[in-house]
Structure 1
Amino acid sequence: MPKLILRYIGAIDAMNRAIGRMAMYLIFVLIGVLLWSSASKVFMAPSMWTLETAQFVMVAYFVLGGPYSIQLGSNVRMDLFYGEWSPRTKAWVDAITVFFLIFYLGVLLYGGLVSTAYSLGYFGDEPFRFFLDLVGTFVTQGPSAAGEMLGFLERSPTAWRPWLWPIKTLLCLGVLLMILQASAEFFRDIGRLRGVID
């Protein structure tokens, strides 16, 4: 197996391990938000921002921890037969089924990018072109010129009305990290089949 692929596996694993280990502490943020929500309802006026903030923190916890979960093999599996198979058979099956996961994540990423572009005020049919133009303008002309490209920023329909683009951007980042981790798992399974990786 080429050293470049082994370095890729190591780099993706290290990145997703670091992000996943940081993301796991978001559970304490979630607990704090929900505790504040409960206390504010009992002792004072209820806070409008707590429910949606809890949802946003849970999304961040889930999508940023997902790649680390794939890396550890702790994601949900149908273990009826899989648990009894040899490591080589597991590697064969994983090397094939990972393409279904990558396809699903690719569709999810495309939908997330379309939704993120919409939340930034782009209502056209080419979200990739929009993001390329936005980044190009930001790099060449600065943040103010890039800000002029944005349209009406989407807000939540709740009373708090937060902008939705930050959480949608985070969702896209998490799905991209899952795609990278799934591809690293594919290369790892090929390495196991060749006897290069344990």
Structure 2
Amino acid sequence: MQRMMRGFIRGVDAVNYRLGRVMMYGIFVLMGVLLWSSVNKVFFLPSLWTLEMAQFVMVGYYVLGGPYSMQMGDHVRMDLLYGDWSVRKKAWVDMFTVLLLIFYLVVLLYGAISSTAYSLGYWQTEPLSYLFGVVTGTEEIGRLEQSSSAWRPYLWPVKVVMIVGFFLMILQCLSELCKDVLRLKGHEI
């Protein structure tokens, strides 16, 4: 069991570490889009796409970078109390809070799946089976949802990014849970 947990931890941490290192540079993409917007507003005609593109880039940056941030321990904690606790007490508290976080992320993932199914033209009550059918080719895509702005981009790409990000965050939470279990058993990580 310990070997499986360590393998799971290594695999999830490796994927999220590499993706997080790439997503760190997403801030430069965001800066580029906003710089382009500023230059166009001052010297040329304002671009219609820059505001929404900046929002989409920010969603990817935030959602896909979240698991990396969690892995590195860069998320917010109440260090006033947490910093003085023993390793075992930290592990117990982390296990409890990560279980709450997993519940929250599962709800967000289901919402993202439902929203993605809607953006692909599905208006029924079974979004999971519909998306599985789209992936396997047994379901057809309906009328694609577009933004109501003047640019009118399709919304499904950013919603798929949200699904991937929430799924990776759940995996990272499970990895952190496994690390806490190993710490409670007295193993080095």
Give the shorter-chain TM-score range.
over 0.9
Q: Which residue of 2 aligns with 1:162?
A: 153
Distance in 1, matches of 2:79 and 2:115, equals: 34
Deviation digits for residues 82-140 of structure 1 (CA, Å, limit 9, x no counterpart): 122112210111112211000000000000000000000000100011012112217xx
Distance in 2, matches of 1:37 and 1:60, equals: 19
Matched ranges for 1:24-35 at <5 A: 24-35=24-35
Q: Does 1:3 align with 2:10?
A: no
Deviation digits for residues 157-195 of structure 1 (CA, Å, limit 9, x no counterpart): 000000000000001100000000000000000111111
Deviation digits for residues 19-69 of structure 1 (CA, Å, limit 9, x no counterpart): 000001111000000000000000000000000000000000000100001
Distance in 2, matches of 1:53 and 1:39, equals: 16
Q: Quick check: 105-114 or 72-81, which moved more?
A: 72-81
Instruction: Give the letter aligned to residue 103 of structure 2.
Output: F
Q: Which residue of 1 aligns with 2:170?
A: 179
Q: Does 1:45 align with 2:49?
A: no
Instruction: Give the letter aligned to residue 176 of structure 2.
Output: E
Instruction: Give the letter aligned to residue 162 of structure 2.
Output: L
SS state at 1:161 partner: coil
TM-score of the aligned structures, taking structure 2 as reference length = 0.97
Distance in 2, matches of 1:3 and 1:84, equals: 31
Q: Does 1:196 align with 2:182?
A: no
SS state at 2:137 partner: helix
SS state at 1:60 partner: helix
Instruction: Give the letter aligned to residue 185 of structure 1.
Output: E
Distance in 2, matches of 1:15 and 1:197, equals: 21
Which sections of structure 1, spanning at least 5 residues, go unmatched? 139-145
SS state at 1:47 partner: coil
Distance in 2, matches of 1:66 and 1:151, equals: 32
Over aligned residues, Cα RMSD in angstroms?
1.1
Distance in 2, matches of 1:49 and 1:34, equals: 11
Instruction: Give the letter aligned to residue 168 of structure 2.
Output: L
Q: Which residue of 1 aligns with 2:84?
A: 84
Q: Which residue of 2 aligns with 1:71?
A: 71
Q: Which residue of 1 aligns with 2:137?
A: 137
Distance in 2, matches of 1:65 and 1:112, equals: 17
Distance in 2, matches of 1:104 and 1:51, equals: 29
Which sections of structure 2, spanning at least 5 residues, go unmatched? none
Structure 1 moving runs of 4+ over 6 Å: none
Q: Which residue of 2 aligns with 1:95?
A: 95
Distance in 2, matches of 1:160 and 1:197, equals: 53
Deviation at 1:79, TM superposition (A): 2.6
Q: Which residue of 2 aligns with 1:108?
A: 108
SS state at 1:55 partner: helix
How many residues end up aligned between the 2 structures? Answer: 189
